Amino acid sequence: MILTIDVGNTTISGGLFDENGKNVLIFRRSTSRDLSSDEAGLFFRNVIELNGFDYTSIKKIACCSVVPSLNYSLASAFKKYFNTECLFVQAGIKTGLKLKYSNPKEIGADRIAAAIGASSLYDGKNLIVVDMGTATTIDIITKDKEYLGGAILPGIKMSSSSLASGTAKLPTVEIVKPERSCGTSTVEAIQSGIYFGQLGAVKEITSLFTNDVFNGEKPYLIGTGGFSRLYENEKLFDSIVPELVHIGLKKVLELN
């Protein structure tokens, strides 16, 4: 079996793939900057066992991390508790993509993994991947497997937290789709601004990419990340693939 780990600023998610390459489990925990190797190893082992799988059958592990301070603990955890060396997405590994970026080392490992996953699922198509996590990243992958870069903007939760922490009177609100665009209370107004503001930003940026990069030819638009499901009824995405990064990590193991 294959274990894939996506370390984000807010959440660590894990994916488990069986011998046939089928994704059989996705699990999550909050990201802790002081996570020890023992805490990590026991957590991964226990959650896999509690879901009815044998952790000793895991022979390959891949990880993408945007929290470098945790990488040593994670590598140690996989070595100690799974007796397996973890492959980290970093400079020098095979990706199957042509990275058309001024400095490829700057690209977030999660962006690379999502791009790999998208190109493996939708081979031969021009793609835009919108990953709605702590930050919202919007990336372009051409049908020739060229990663061209994209845009990064504050994510939904970050926007909400910034309003609450940066003002004296605005509260923290539940992140939901508003019933109407015009909020009739402060809470509703914040929810409207965050939800429709993010929707409008993604629509505008992807429209610019369509015109500027693809000369008006509509690319295939993929949504992923924790908040992408919030927009599943907005006809924003051609498909939503929550496990996209994990599919990319599995592909990385095949390529390397």
Catalytic positions are: 110
The alpha helices in the chain, defined as continuous H runs, are: 37-50, 71-82, 109-121, 156-166, 186-212, 244-255
45 alpha-carbon distance from chain centroid? 22
Residue 26, token pair as written in the block: 């996705």
Give the C-alpha separation, 174 to 176, whole Å: 6
Q: Left, alpha or beta for 60 (phi > 0: left; psi -120 to 50: alpha)?
A: beta
By the 8 A CB rule, do 186 and 171 touch? yes
Residue 152 pairs in a beta bridge with 137
**Measured distance CA(255)–CA(137) in Å, rounded:** 24
| Pair type for strands 146-154 and 135-141 | antiparallel
In angstroms, the CA 187 to CA 136 distance is 22
Work out whether strand 2-7 and strand 60-65 pair parallel, antiparallel, or are unpaired: parallel
Greatest CA separation for the chain: 57
Angle among Cα 230, 236, 239 to the nearest 5 degrees reads 85
- Which residue has 């109407």 as its token pair? 180
Element (H, E) at 6: strand 2-7
